[in-house]
Structure 1
């Protein structure tokens, strides 16, 4: 165990350093596996799993355990393990469908929760070699440089990411509601994208490449990391993914308009 752990727990910089090493360990493996193209996929009706998910998660968790062997772990593949006021939520391969299909849009993510609240997150996109890190109250960076969610594009001419989690996809009523939300958002902007890799979208939003994001019953494995990155890069938001609806945008007016649009569907 590293010597930066004190009686009060590790500081944010120490957590961020381990989170960065962890996601890069998983992402570097994924890059090699993707370029090799030999990882088979197990295709279900609404999801895909590959051996790469499990192998990447093992690499991420190994790095975390090396520094914080007593911390609780919550991996998408392995589930919850341990009981501690620090918990690491890990998505080893966000964008498995893309990975299995040969589409170069996927990422590895890890978020540290302290007593249930996200305090540090890291997202690594191996193919563009982009690493996003956020610290609660201390801002966000991409490849070590401060990142700010700024865009001068209006919603009318902008692009919005729409993220639907498996809880909604697998529920007929929620899936129908998601379709209505997507249609309503499409009426207000130039383009709605569903990349099937929310962490890629969170990175784009954090650097102003997207004007907004709407998440409907998103999966926690990428949502924790993404929401913290968004908050620390200056994204204006309404709601939380844990409550079933998160709306974020690069400016307050756009966030308010997107929130009004989505709420009108839910009312």
Structure 2
């Protein structure tokens, strides 16, 4: 029997959940101390808590699946397997270091390159999102189904810019254009610096949509699977991902930012 036949989605989801909680619980304790060791640059923050949280996440995965490949934001790729675990131990490091209570731990499981399971844990509100490909998504164990009755003109949309775009002069200028276009189309554009927090809000229907520009894989795999499991309509093209509760809203957002 090969490895893929032995591992069920449910087993993967159970471990992803434990791993995300292991990282998130550590972060919550560290956040409450009010003291964060971090290194600051013009476009990023690296905290000691990133590495410590990732170690806890990876330990939880290795304990159950020692032969699986790992891809941590802090430690890089390790191993080779049809299963790969993609981990963002602290999504929202800048928030964490600044004392803003908006951050999460994200874990996604890829099988032959496709995401099949994800878990996103926001430790401060104790909110756990879990998604399984073809099964659906839950928040704290309850089924998720997105939806919003707010018109897009009056709505709020998240805008996520990945580090590749932030660090490239041409892409950064294009990101500014996209943000202005969104601002002309909706009431409010939010940039929280914690994409997974935003993904959860979109999946719950609390935000009318999300637009990602060259997003980082560490959040995108987990968030996109969560959104799909909740019924979010999406479209990707030329480094732009757009998600919304329905196809009409998705298309309106995409038309606003595509040019």
TM-score by length of 2: 0.98
- 2:150 equivalent in structure 1: 153
Q: How far apart are 1:41 and its partner, in Å?
A: 1.3
Query: Can you give the 5+ residue segments of structure 1 that lack an aligned partner in the other structure?
Result: none
2:159 to 159, 162, 178: 162
Shift of the alpha carbon at 1:169?
0.3
Matched pairs, number? 258
- Looking at structure 1, the residues matched to 80 and 38 of structure 2 have their Cα atoms a distance apart, in angstroms, of 32
How far apart are residue 9 of structure 1 and its match?
A: 3.2
Question: Where does residue 42 of structure 1 map in the other structure?
Answer: 39
> What is the Cα deviation at residue 39 of structure 1?
2.0
Question: What's the counterpart of residue 86 of structure 2?
Answer: 89
Cα 1:151/1:58, change in 2 over 3 Å? same
2:21 is matched with 24
Distance 1:9 1:50 in 2: 37
Alignment correspondent of 2:256: 261
Which residue does 2:177 correspond to in 1?
A: 180
SS at match of 2:55: helix
Per-residue deviation at 1:263? Answer: 1.1
CA RMSD in angstroms comes to 1.1
Q: Structure 1 residues 38-47 or 160-169, which shifts more?
A: 38-47
Counterpart position of 1:216: 213
Equivalent position of 2:242 in the other structure: 247
CA change 1:253–1:35 in 2 (3 A) is same
Paired residue secondary structure (1:8): helix
SS at match of 2:56: helix
Match of 2:168 among 166, 171, 181: 171
**Partner secondary structure for residue 5 of structure 2:** coil
**Which secondary structure state, in structure 1, belongs to the residue aligned with residue 185 of structure 2?**
coil
Kindly provide the CA deviation profile for residues 88-131 of structure 1, in whole angstroms up to 9, marking residues without a partner as x.
00000000000000000000000000000000000000001000
Q: State the Cα deviation string for residues 17-76 of structure 1 (Å, max 9, x = none).
A: 000000000000000000012221100110000000000000000000000000000000
CA–CA separation in structure 1 for the residues paired with 2:132 and 2:197: 19
Q: Quick one: structure 1 residues 107 and 42, their matched pair in 2 at CA, closer, same or farther if it must change by over 3 Å?
A: same
Structure 2 residue 50 is matched with structure 1 residue 53: yes
- Structure 2 Cα separation of the partners of residues 40 and 68 of structure 1: 31
- Which runs of 5 or more residues in structure 2 are unaligned? none
Taking the aligned partners of 1:218 and 1:148, their CA distance within structure 2 comes to 24
- Quick one: distance in 1 between partners of 2:239 and 2:94? 23
Provide the secondary structure at the position in 2 that maps to 1:119. Answer: strand
Shift of 1:202: 0.2
The two structures have a TM-score, normalised by structure 1, of 0.95
